[in-house]
């Protein structure tokens, strides 16, 4: 899964990297993005890419309460075409979610005390460039006039060889060569689109242990991605 990530690049840098129009809404750099936070995502609009702010946690148009989004921060690639909450967006409303990296927690090995905490790791590209997570988006209109919520979810797939020691799932990371195909709202060939949702090459990412300060969502500073010495259990 993907439950925390880093979104620290400036709006202009994101727009330049994805060859998109910069967003109107400005978000603060956040080294500990958590579910229900607002995040940037890139979508196609009439042949133009736009960077816009989205609520993280997909809220389908038919939802009675936007709180359901907290349970839809991720969507499994294997079931997108069969889940009612995701299939309409899979066909027409797809985005790229920029990330400077993401976090995952490694469980202690068997036989150690149950109270031993998990070790957080930061996963990122070795060249420092952003990751482009495959995502979906939706619009929910509330009962009050103008009560509109634009939301997104991040698609996950099986872990690659680099990620497997930490978790059995990882975000789908799309290469630049597939961005246009993924974003095109006129492309509703979900069978072909589904073939894009595969694990990234293992050499695309590297990992290192970080402080357990990342466990607290109130901590959002750049020190969270600094490498630390792991507990001997995790080395």
- Cα–Cα distance measured from residue 166 to residue 108, given in angstroms and rounded to the nearest whole number: 10
List the one residue out of 74, 53, 191 whose CA is nearest residue 135. 74
Give whole-number Cα distances, 146 to 140, 142, 149, in Å.
Answer: 11, 8, 9
Joined tokens for residue 123? 């996963």
- Cα–Cα distance measured from residue 32 to residue 94, given in angstroms and rounded to the nearest whole number: 24
The alpha carbon dihedral of 81, 54, 56, 119 has a sign of positive
How many other β-carbons are positioned within 10 Å of the β-carbon of residue 36?
15
Active site residue 203: no
Which residue among the candidates 24, 28, 104, 181 is catalytic per the annotation?
104
8 Å CB contact between 130 and 99 = yes
Burial (0-12, 13-18, 19+ Cβ within 10 Å), 107: middle
Joined tokens for residue 215? 């466990």
Pairing mode, strands 148-158 and 74-76: parallel
How many other β-carbons are positioned within 10 Å of the β-carbon of residue 61?
10
Which residue among the candidates 2, 24, 78, 158 is catalytic per the annotation?
2
Active site residue 104: yes
- Cα angle 176, 32, 99 (rounded to 5 degrees) comes to 5
Q: Could you give the residue numbers annotated as active site?
A: 2, 104
């Amino acid at each position: 899964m993907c439950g925390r990530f880093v979104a620290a690049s400036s709006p202009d840098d994101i727009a330049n990297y994805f060859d998109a129009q910069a967003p109107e809404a400005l978000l603060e750099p956040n080294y500990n993005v958590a579910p229900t936070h607002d995040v940037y995502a890139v979508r196609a609009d009439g042949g133009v890419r736009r960077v816009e702010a989205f609520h993280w946690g997909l809220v389908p148009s038919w939802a009675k309460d936007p709180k359901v989004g907290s349970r839809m921060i991720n969507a499994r690639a294997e079931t997108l075409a069969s889940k009612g909450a995701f299939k309409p967006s899979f066909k027409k409303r797809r985005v790229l979610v920029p990330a400077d990296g993401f976090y995952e927690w490694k469980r202690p090995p068997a036989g150690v005390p149950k109270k031993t905490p998990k070790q957080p790791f930061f996963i990122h590209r070795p060249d420092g460039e952003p990751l482009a997570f495959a995502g979906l988006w939706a619009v929910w209109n509330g009962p009050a006039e103008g009560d509109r919520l634009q939301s997104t979810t991040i698609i996950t797939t099986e872990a690659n060889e680099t990620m497997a020691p930490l978790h059995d799932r990882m975000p789908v990371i799309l290469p630049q060569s597939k961005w246009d195909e993924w974003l095109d709202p006129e492309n509703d060939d979900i069978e072909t689109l589904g073939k894009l949702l595969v694990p990234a090459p293992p050499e695309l990412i590297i990992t290192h242990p970080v402080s357990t300060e990342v466990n607290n969502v109130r901590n959002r500073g750049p020190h969270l991605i600094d490498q630390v010495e792991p507990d001997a259990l995790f080395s």
